[in-house]
A and B are shown apart, each in its own frame.
Chain A
Amino acid sequence: AITKEQDALMKLIVEAYNKHQIPQDVTKKLLQEQYSTEENFLLLTEIATSQVQVLVEFTKNIPGFLSLDHEDQIALLKGSAVEAMFLRSAQVFSRKMPKGHTEVLEERIRKSGISEEFITPLFNFYKSVGELHMVQEEQALLTAITILTPDRPYVKDQQAVERLQEPMVELLKKLCVLQHPQEPQYFARLLGRLTELRTLNHYHAEMLTSWRVN
């Protein structure tokens, strides 16, 4: 069972996850009709920027994060921003969206000058995350675990990061057993998504370059 401390940790992470969301006025624009490729491009850039700001606000609430070395904080955030962004946006596609919203979002991403080579793996990821039907606690913890990945580039004190990540992984494992008793492989499937996320990192870097060329 989940200990008192673990429960407190979970509540704190979920509360921070819910508190820091992309502002309504930004997401509302996503649903407005007929945008040109250029406007889609600018809109996606605006949302990506907002997601990074939301990511930092969320991360500040992760116990121990602000006591890490300042440059390591930057390295962790920089190294995980893209993954955290896709993990979060995946939930938009898997949550019960009002009729037609998902299609509009998908159309917007497809019509923003991003090459097909990147869009296919991105939507495969969204689909595989959607099939997991993650509960909110799992989404918040998985995001925190993604950010606290010790082997990001330029992280100096990896052990300090590991000490923060480890209890989160333990807690997520217990949560998966409690939430998905009939699926013993569920935790492993969640971690599998993190591996898939890392490949998106690579595609994202290439996508940015091709986007700029277009």
Chain B
Amino acid sequence: PASNLGLEDIIRKALMGNLEE
């Protein structure tokens, strides 16, 4: 369902965050 996809996108984006720091 869309919400799970949303969940994974939020997680991937937040995890990638450490590359920008």
Contact = CB atoms under 8 A, between A and B. Distances in A.
B11 A56 contact: yes
A208 B3 contact: yes
A81 B3 contact: no
Contacts, number: 37
A78 B7 contact: yes
Interface residues of A, number: 16
Contacts of B17: 56-57
A74 B10 CA distance: 10
15 contacts: A49-B6, A49-B10, A52-B11, A53-B10, A56-B11, A56-B17, A57-B14, A57-B17, A70-B15, A74-B8, A74-B15, A77-B11, A78-B11, A209-B1, A212-B3
Interface string B2-21: 01101110111011011000
Contacts of B6: 49
B18 A66 contact: yes
Choose among A49, A56, A66, A81 the residue with the greatest number of B CB atoms under 10 Å from its CB: A56
Contacts of A212: 1, 3
A19 interface: no
Nearest to A74: B11
Contacts of B4: 78
A81 to B, nearest CB: 6
Contacts of A209: 1
Contacts of A56: 10-11, 14-15, 17
A163 interface: no
Interface in A52-106: 52-53, 56-57, 60, 66, 70, 73-74, 77-78, 81
Nearest to A56: B14
B1 A73 contact: no
